[in-house]
Amino acid sequence: MRKRIGILAVIVIALIIGYSYINQSHRDIEHENAEFNVNAIEIASNFSENTSLAETKYLNTTIEVNGNITEVNSNSITLNDKVFCQFTKAIETTLKSNTTVKIKGRVIGYDDLLEQVKLDQCTIN
């Protein structure tokens, strides 16, 4: 009888821990402090020179990146043709190409084919 209760207790604890791990709260990138403040060309050159070192440094971190807008869509901006910033909400249409902006977002990776650093959950500062 004690053995069954012990096994049942272990199973219940494992289920509680598993449920808590799966249902973690989401990060609020907009209100996080940026770990790095970099230029679009600088971060792109870091990734192109040594991708693994740059991923170790920047991947899944919140950064602020500044640069000139080269492309604007309804929910994304490209800076200096090197940094692709994806927004959660639609962005204002008053932004135009060749305008300097500072954007905060989370680094999700580097696209070797397009040679662009990818950010998501971005906001314009």
Number of domains in the chain: 1
pLDDT at 93: 67
CATH of the domain at 40: 2.40.50.140
Spans of the chain, pLDDT less than 50: none
Decide if 22 is inside a domain.
Answer: no
Decide if 7 is inside a domain.
Answer: no
pLDDT digit string (tens) for 59-95? 999 999 999 999 998 899 999 999 999 998 888 768 8
Quick one: which of 47, 54, 66, 82 has its CA closest to 122?
66
**Length of the chain as a residue count:** 125
Domain span at 74: 29-124
pLDDT digit string (tens) for 67-77? 999 999 889 99
Decide if 50 is inside a domain.
Answer: yes
Q: What is the pTM of this model?
A: 0.78
Pairing of β 83-87 and β 116-124:
parallel
Contacts (Cβ under 8 Å, ≥6 apart) of 83: 40, 43, 44, 65, 67, 116, 117, 119
Decide if 84 is inside a domain.
Answer: yes
